Each structure stands twice: as C-alpha cells, then as structure tokens.
Amino acid sequence: MRSRIIWGMLIVCLVFFACNRKKTNKVAVDKSEVKQIQKTINVKIKRYEQALYNIPKDNLEAELKALQSDYCFLVENLKDSNYVKQIRFFLNEKLNKQLYLEVQKQYPDLSEMEKEFGNAFSLLKYHFPDAVIPHIYTAISGLYYESPILFYDSTLMIALDMYLGKDFKPYKQLGIEVPKFIIQRFSREYILADCFKEISYNYMKYNNTQGTVLDEMILEGKRLFFAELALPNAPDSVIFPYPQEKIQWAMQNEANIWGYLIEKKYLYTRDNTVIRKLIKEAPFTNFFGNQSPGRIGVWVGWQICRSWVQKNPNRPINELMNELDAQKILAESKYKPKK
C-alpha cells in the first residue's frame, strides 16, 4: 500500500508541477518532411528507478535533494515531511526490490525505446507542429496498475514494473483486482501506445461530463486514432489491446454491430448500463458474446474517426480532434460499414 502511495504522490505532483493486420488506412505524410523533423528531436529517457536505488541510504533526504535538478517532481514531494520516510520504506520493501531487479534485467538499456519515441514524436510534430516533446522518466510504481502511465503538460512517466510480461509471477498477487485479460497487456509492446493515448488528451477538446454513447465512442476513438498517428506501424491489437482474433471478429461483423447499435437506438442514450457495456473495460462486449472484444463501442468510434480522415483528406486532423459535436463527426465521416 505504501508503495502505491509513492506513485500516487507522483500523480498529484505532476499535476501540480508542470515540468496484426496490414493497415490500409494510414494517413499520408511527407516522408522527407518527417525526416527533417526527426533531426530536431533527441529523446533521452531519465531513469528515476535507477537514481533512487543507487543513492546511499544513510543520508536519504540530502541525496533526494541532490536529485531535484534532474527530477523536478521531487521538489514538491520533499516539502512533505513524511515523504522521505515513505521513500525509505519503499526502497526497503522486498517486492519493490524484486521489481527493480526485474526491470533492470528486462530493460537494461532504453536506447531502442528512445529511438521509437523519437520516430513517434516526429510524426506527432508533423501533424501538430506546435507539439511539445515531454520530458520522459521511468520509475517503479509498486504495481500501481491503475495508472501505469502518468502524463501532465511536459512530463511523461512510465512505470516499467507494469510492463514485465503477462507471465511475471508478482502480477498473480494482484488477484481478482486485475482480470487476466488486463494482465495480458502488461508487456513492452504496449508502452508507447499507452503513452500516446494518455498524451492525446492534450491535443483534443473534450467534455469532462459523461455524454451519450456516441459522445463516449468518439472521444475514445479519437484517443486510439491519435496513438495510431504516432505509431502507424503498430498492429491494431496494440492500439486497441485485444487479441487479434477478437479484432478480426469485429472487422467481419462491423456492419452487424453498427446495425445493432442503430436498431436499439443506443447511440444517443445516456444510460449508464449501456455505456458501461459498450465503452468500459471487459473481456468481451456483453451484447455480442464472448467472441467479441470488450469496448466494442470504442472500436467503432475508432473506425468512425478513421473514416472521417479518409473522407476529408484536405482538412487538418486537429479539426477532428477539436470538434466537440460527435454527431457532426459521424455525419462528416459518412461512416457506413459494408455488409
């Protein structure tokens, strides 16, 4: 529990301190321009977990203060008199030591990840020229599965202990809190997609209050589309993290899914039960049986966003991202899946 408190405090301080099918619908880009942008981007990931575990423990407060220049989120944390005690407990906890050792084993070097982030941010700046490249940090969260990625303004933090592979034994200690279909995603290949889905909120307008099913579909669909823009070669099963066979089922039944939503008049309902079944996490979508992926409404929202871009090739993508009227996006997308 105390381990999770550390990660939770980082969430608060980041807010306080702004420091596998072949794709046929890729968005066209000018490759030469992207390469020019690439030359201006140099991603370096700072490893907070290494800095933390390598400092001498006999003078912890002073050592933490010495890290402030590299880890800005410590500034506010160190004003809390209990924080140093919690850090000491965190470092001495057996599970966290195990997590740290496994992270160092699986992620001894992040140069390849830095390159992947560089490529992704080059594409992001191509589509959004004013995009700001965040400072990226890695850390150990103590299996804080609710928020493996933290993002605020110009700071992105990745809990590497939540990406150690579905067979990592400590994940089983999470018990019924975390279903098996969620644990399947605790692997390296999902890191960048998870990051860009979090970053997406900074690049679109959205309402904080729950809307209709269609509103929720389009909002979540935009997040997937944004991640796809940055990671055009990622499989759909990484952007929308369900097994490929479930995505294949959705593709084959797309017209029937859409027809069902229309027939039941679900698009404009605000019924929480319906929204939960179509939008919220689940191993499958109750309305369509266990062969379907969960969150089928999100998947359809993604297809609507893809269709909008295909039908409006001369309009900037930020028009899609900033449009709050989900019905207008649907109309302009001319979305109509073939039977």
- CB count within 10 Å of CB 233 equals 9
Cβ atoms 268, 330 nearer than 8 A: no
Residues 6+ apart with CB under 8 A from 62: none
Sheet architecture: strand order including 149-152: 45-47, 135-139, 155-159, 149-152
Sequence length of the chain is 339
Does the predicted model carry a pTM greater than 0.85?
yes
Which mean pLDDT values do the consecutive 10-residue runs of the chain (339 residues) have? 63 54 68 95 96 90 89 77 88 95 98 98 96 95 94 93 96 87 96 98 90 97 98 97 97 97 97 97 96 98 98 96 97 94
Cβ atoms 84, 13 nearer than 8 A: no
Where along the chain do its domains lie? Answer: 2-202, 205-333
Residue 85 tokens read as 């005690």
Q: Which amino acid is at 70?
A: D
